[in-house]
Amino acid sequence: MDIVKILLALFLPPVAAFMQVGPTLHFWANIVLTLLGGLPGMVHALWLVVTKK
């Protein structure tokens, strides 16, 4: 399942963040970061998945 989450973090960062932490502040921050630029959202989502927050 981690491989799927990592792939989602690369292509659909908010979906990966939602799957990892649910509708919390990290999810909403990831949406904002993704809208500001794709790379910040990807990095944040990968961080959430790798650290198992």
Q: Is 12 helix (H, G, I), strand (E, B) or coil?
A: coil
User: Do 9 and 42 touch, CB atoms closer than 8 A?
Assistant: yes
Instruction: Write out the residue range of the structural domain in which residue 6 sits.
Output: 2-51
pLDDT at 1 over 90: no
User: Do 46 and 29 touch, CB atoms closer than 8 A?
Assistant: no
Measured CA to CA, the distance from residue 53 to residue 15 in angstroms comes to 15
Question: What pLDDT shows up at residue 13?
Answer: 95
- 47 — pLDDT class (breaks 50, 70, 90): very high
Question: What pLDDT shows up at residue 22?
Answer: 93
Question: What pLDDT shows up at residue 53?
Answer: 60
pLDDT at 18 over 80: yes
Q: How many domains does the chain have?
A: 1
